[in-house]
Structure 1
Amino acid sequence: MFFLINKPSGITSHDVIYRLRKVTGIKRIGHAGTLDPLASGLMAVAVGNDTRLLEYLVGLDKEYVCTFRLGATSTTYDSEGKIIEIENAPQITESQLKKVLREFTGDIYQTPPIFSAVKIQGRKAYDYARSGEIVNIPQRLITIFHLELTNFKYPEVTIKVHCSSGTYIRSLVHDIGKRLNSGAYITKLERTKIGEASIDQAINVDDFTKESEQISFSQLRPDLLMYELSEQELMNVKQGKAISTKKSFQSVVLGLYNKQIVSVLEYDLNHSSLRPIKNL
Structure 2
Amino acid sequence: MTRTSAGEPGPRASGILLLDKQGGWTSHDLVARTRRLAGTRKVGHAGTLDPMATGLMILGINSSTRLLTYLVGLDKEYVATIRLGSATVTDDREGDVVSTAPPGAVATLGVDQVEQAMAQLRGDIRQVPSTVSAIKVDGKRAYALAREGEEVELAARAVTVSAFELRGYEPQPSEDPGQGDHLDLLVRVECSSGTYIRALARDLGASLGVGGHLTELRRTRVGPFAVRDAVTIDELDVATRLLPPATAAGAIFETLHLTHEQAVDLGHGKRISAAEEAPGGGPLAAVAPDGRLVGLVEFSGRVGRSVVNFPPDDPVPPAAADPTGAP
Q: Is the counterpart of residue 172 in structure 1 residue 200 in structure 2? A: yes
Distance of 1:113 and 1:38 partners within structure 2: 15
Return the match for 1:210 from 215, 235, 238.
238
After superposition, give the CA deviation of every residue in 1:220-242 in whole Å (9 maximum; x if it has no partner): 65341222333432343233322
Distance of 1:111 and 1:216 partners within structure 2: 38
**Residue 191 of structure 1 aligns to which amino acid in structure 2?**
R
After superposition, give the CA deviation of every residue in 1:179-223 in whole Å (9 maximum; x if it has no partner): 111100111100011112211111011111233423345356534
Return the match for 1:252 from 275, 283, 299.
283
Equivalent residues of 1:74, 1:83 under 8 A apart:
yes
Match of 2:308 in 1: 278
Return the match for 2:297 from 257, 261, 265.
265
Q: 1:221 to 1:58 in 2, by over 3 A?
A: farther
| Structure 1 unmatched runs, 5+ | none
SS at match of 2:117: helix
Match of 1:196 in 2: 224
Match of 1:7 in 2: 21
Distance of 2:32 and 2:268 partners within structure 1: 35
Q: Is the counterpart of residue 18 in structure 1 residue 32 in structure 2? A: yes
Which 10-residue stretch deviates more, 146-155 or 84-93?
Answer: 84-93
Q: 1:222 to 1:209 in 2, by over 3 A?
A: closer
Distance of 2:101 and 2:166 partners within structure 1: 25
Match of 1:50 in 2: 64
Return the match for 2:163 from 139, 146, 149.
146
> Which structure has more strand as a fraction of its residues?
1
SS at match of 1:166: coil
SS at match of 1:54: helix
Q: 1:78 to 1:220 in 2, by over 3 A?
A: farther
SS at match of 2:238: coil
Name which one, 1 or 2, has greater alpha-carbon Rg.
2
Alignment of 1:102-141 (within 5 A): 102-141=119-158
Match of 1:187 in 2: 215
How many equivalent pairs are there?
Answer: 278
Equivalent residues of 2:249, 2:285 under 8 A apart:
no
| Structure 2 unmatched runs, 5+ | 1-14, 172-182, 311-327
Equivalent residues of 2:21, 2:57 under 8 A apart:
yes
Q: 1:93 to 1:60 in 2, by over 3 A?
A: same
Equivalent residues of 1:237, 1:276 under 8 A apart:
yes
Deviation, 1:116, is: 1.0
Match of 2:257 in 1: 228
**Residue 274 of structure 1 aligns to which amino acid in structure 2?**
G
SS at match of 1:19: helix
Q: Could you say what the CA RMSD is over the residues aligned between the two structures, in angstroms?
A: 1.7
After superposition, give the CA deviation of every residue in 1:39-71 in whole Å (9 maximum; x if it has no partner): 000111111110111111111111100002111
SS at match of 1:203: coil
Equivalent residues of 1:57, 1:220 under 8 A apart:
no
SS at match of 1:97: helix
Aligned residues: percent identity?
Answer: 34
Distance of 2:296 and 2:73 partners within structure 1: 16
Distance of 2:102 and 2:149 partners within structure 1: 29
Return the match for 1:86 from 95, 100, 104.
100
What is the TM-score with the length of structure 1 in the denominator? 0.94
Equivalent residues of 2:124, 2:159 under 8 A apart:
yes
Alignment of 1:60-99 (within 5 A): 60-88=74-102, 90-91=105-106, 92-99=109-116
Distance of 1:223 and 1:52 partners within structure 2: 14
Equivalent residues of 1:197, 1:220 under 8 A apart:
no
What is the TM-score with the length of structure 2 in the denominator? 0.81
